[in-house]
Amino acid sequence: MRRLLFALPFALLPLAAAHAAHDEHEHHNEHASLAAHEHGAAQLNVALEGQRLELALESPAMNLVGFEHAAVSSSDKAAVARAQQHLQTPLALFGIAAAAGCVITSHELHSPLFEAHAEEHEEHEEHEEHDKEHGAEHSDIDANYVLTCSQPQALSAIDLSELFKRFPATDKIQVQLIGPNGQQGAELSAAQPRLSF
C-alpha distance from residue 157 to each of 13, 54, 94, 134, 142 (Å) = 23, 14, 9, 42, 22
pLDDT of residue 176: 97
- Domain around 92: 2-18+38-113+138-196
Among candidate residues 25, 27, 59, the one with its CA nearest the CA of residue 43: 59
Looking at the domain assignment, is residue 130 inside a domain?
A: no
Looking at the domain assignment, is residue 122 inside a domain?
A: no
Looking at the domain assignment, is residue 29 inside a domain?
A: no
| pTM check: above 0.85 | no
Please, are residues 60 and 37 in contact by the beta-carbon 8 Å criterion? yes
Among candidate residues 154, 167, 166, 176, the one with its CA nearest the CA of residue 54: 176
pLDDT in tens, the chain (197 residues): 333 333 434 444 433 443 344 343 333 333 333 345 688 999 999 999 999 999 999 999 999 999 988 888 999 999 999 999 999 999 999 999 999 999 999 999 999 988 743 334 444 444 444 444 444 467 899 999 999 999 999 999 999 999 999 999 999 999 999 998 899 999 999 999 999 98
Looking at the domain assignment, is residue 27 inside a domain?
A: no
Looking at the domain assignment, is residue 128 inside a domain?
A: no
Looking at the domain assignment, is residue 73 inside a domain?
A: yes
Q: How many domains is the chain partitioned into structurally?
A: 1
Looking at the domain assignment, is residue 89 inside a domain?
A: yes
Please, are residues 93 and 87 in contact by the beta-carbon 8 Å criterion? yes
pLDDT of residue 187: 98
Containing H/E element for 133?
Answer: helix 121-133
Reduced to 3 states, what is the DSSP secondary structure of residue 47? Answer: strand
Looking at the domain assignment, is residue 132 inside a domain?
A: no
